[in-house]
Amino acid sequence: MSLSVRFAHRFGDFSLDVAFEAPAGVTALFGRSGSGKTSVINAVAGLIRPEAGRIQLGETVLFDAERRIWVPVHQRRLGYVFQEGRLFPHLSVRQNLTYSRWFAPRRPGESFDHVVGMLGIDGLLERRPAGLSGGEKQRVAIGRALLANPRLLLMDEPLAALDEERKAEILPYLERLRGETDIPVLYVSHSMAEVARLATTLVLMDKGRVVRSGLAHEVLSDPENVPALGIRAAGASLHATVTTQEEDGLTRLEASAGPLFLPHVDAPLGARLSIRILAQDVILSRTRPEGLSALNILPATVTAVRLGEGPGAVIQLRAGDDLLLARITRRSAQALELAPGADCFAILKSVAVAQSEVGGAG
Nearest to 78 by CA among 103, 49, 95: 103
CA 334 to chain centre: 34
Q: What pLDDT is recorded for position 159?
A: 86
Annotate 191-221 with DSSP letters as a single string.
Answer: -HHHHHHH-SEEEEEETTEEEEEEEHHHHHT
Q: What is the CA angle 353-359-361, rounded to 5? A: 125
Cα separation values, 362 from 67, 149, 328, 333, Å: 38, 23, 29, 33
Question: Are the CB atoms for 20 and 55 separated by under 8 Å?
Answer: no
Furthest-apart CA atoms within the chain: distance in Å: 69
| pTM of this structure | 0.87
Measured in degrees and rounded to the nearest 5, phi and psi for residue 55 equal: -130, 125
The number of CA neighbours under 13 Å toward the Cβ of 158 is 31
Q: What pLDDT is recorded for position 206?
A: 92
The β-bridge partners of 236 are 277
The number of CA neighbours under 13 Å toward the Cβ of 177 is 29
Distance in angstroms (rounded) separating the CA atoms of residues 220 and 323: 9
CA 350 to chain centre: 23
Q: What pLDDT is recorded for position 173?
A: 83
Q: What pLDDT is recorded for position 264?
A: 92
Q: In the β-sheet with 312-319, what is the strand arrangement from edge to edge? A: 282-285, 343-348, 296-307, 312-319, 322-329
Rounded to a whole number, what is the distance in angstroms from the first to the last CA of the chain? Answer: 18
193 exposed, middle or buried (CB, 10 Å; 0-12, 13-18, 19+)? buried
The number of CA neighbours under 13 Å toward the Cβ of 29 is 32
Measured in degrees and rounded to the nearest 5, phi and psi for residue 297 equal: -130, 110
Measured in degrees and rounded to the nearest 5, phi and psi for residue 88 equal: -75, 115
Question: Are the CB atoms for 288 and 296 separated by under 8 Å?
Answer: no
**What is the chain's mean pLDDT, rounded?**
90
Residue ranges of domains in the chain, CATH in brackets = 3-220 (3.40.50.300), 235-360 (2.40.50.100)
Task: Report residues of the chain scoring pLDDT below 70.
Answer: 101-110, 362
Measured in degrees and rounded to the nearest 5, phi and psi for residue 126 equal: -95, 5
The number of CA neighbours under 13 Å toward the Cβ of 278 is 17
User: For helices 112-119 and 164-180, what crossing angle results, to 10°?
Assistant: 140
